[in-house]
């Protein structure tokens, strides 16, 4: 392998040679064209997602389901139980994942964990600064019940590190200010 600088990510890269199945190669070419990125960029994104995210998801166990199925599950959970579910979901797995990824449970590890989750399709995350406060906006398309779940989830998650941020919701977003 030969090391090279990578103009896109400021990381060094290596040249490796791999054989891939023809149908996989064609799918990668199609995906790169649709996303308007180079084939090399798409391959790096796919491999990065696998080594940074998918391996960890596989280790802790996960279930893939469609958004339609998830919305259906949410609609069947009573309101008071939905809020409790947010607390439960924020207590065990996030802490374990923060320790695995960062070796700590602090603000930096929490933000890293939330960026990780945003890459998994549960929400998109935008970080900004507003009126001197850090602001995280989480957008989703699961409906207002998911905003309720996320509000409780974020309250508990930030509570684990001794923070009590201001949290506001809409039917398709949750904003966390600290």
Please indicate, yes or no, whether residues 86 and 130 belong to a single structural domain of this protein.
yes
Residue 11 lies in a domain: no
Task: Tell me the backbone φ, ψ of residue 4, rounded to 5 degrees.
Answer: -140, 155
Among 22, 89, 99, residue whose Cα is nearest residue 62: 89
Given a contact cutoff of 8 angstroms between Cβ atoms, the answer to whether 109 and 102 are in contact is yes
SS3 annotation, 69-107: HHHHHHHCCCHHHHHHHHHHHHHCHHHHHHHHHHCCCCH
The predicted structure's pLDDT at residue 29? 94
- The answer to whether residues 170 and 129 belong to one domain is yes
- CATH of residue 157's domain is 3.30.1380.20
- Per-residue pLDDT of 42-60, as tens digits, reads 998 888 888 877 877 787 7
pLDDT in the model for residue 59:
78
For residue 114, what pLDDT is reported?
Answer: 96
Number of compact structural domains in the chain: 2
Range of the domain at 133: 77-177
| 171 and 85 inside one domain | yes
Query: First and final CA of the chain: distance in angstroms?
Result: 45
pLDDT confidence of residue 6: 46
Q: What does the pLDDT read at residue 32?
A: 92
132-142 pLDDT, tens per residue? Answer: 899 999 999 99
Same domain? For 152 and 102 the reply is yes
Q: What pTM was computed for the model?
A: 0.74
Indicate if 154 and 128 belong to the same structural domain: yes
pLDDT less than 50: residues of the chain: 1-3, 6-7
State the DSSP string of the chain. Answer: -EEEE-TTTS-EEEE------HHHHHHHHHHHHHHTS-HHHHHHHHHHHIIIIIHHHHHH------HHHHHHHHHTS-HHHHHHHHHHHHHSHHHHHHHHHHSS-SHHHHHHHHHHHHHTTS-EEEEEEETTEEEEEEE-SS-HHHHHHHHHHHHHHHHTTT---EEEE-SSEEEEE-
Question: Among 62, 93, 116, which residue terminates a domain?
Answer: 62
Compute φ and ψ for 122, nearest 5 degrees: -80, -25
């Amino acid at each position: 392998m030969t090391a090279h600088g990578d103009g896109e990510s400021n990381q060094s890269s290596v040249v490796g040679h791999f054989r891939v199945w023809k149908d996989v190669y064609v799918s990668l070419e199609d995906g790169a064209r649709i996303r308007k990125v180079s084939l090399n960029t798409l391959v790096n994104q796919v491999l990065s997602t696998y080594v940074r995210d998918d391996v960890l998801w596989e280790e802790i166990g996960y279930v893939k389901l469609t958004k339609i199925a998830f919305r259906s599950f949410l609609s069947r959970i009573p309101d008071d139980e939905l809020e409790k579910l947010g607390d439960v979901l924020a207590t065990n797995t996030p802490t374990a994942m923060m320790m695995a990824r960062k070796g700590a449970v602090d603000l930096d590890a929490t933000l890293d964990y939330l960026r990780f989750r945003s890459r998994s399709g549960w929400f998109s995350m935008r970080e900004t600064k507003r009126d001197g406060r850090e602001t995280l906006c989480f957008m989703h398309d699961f409906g207002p019940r998911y905003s309720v779940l996320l509000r409780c989830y974020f309250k508990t998650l930030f509570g684990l590190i001794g923070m009590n941020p201001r949290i506001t919701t809409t039917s398709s977003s949750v904003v966390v200010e600290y």
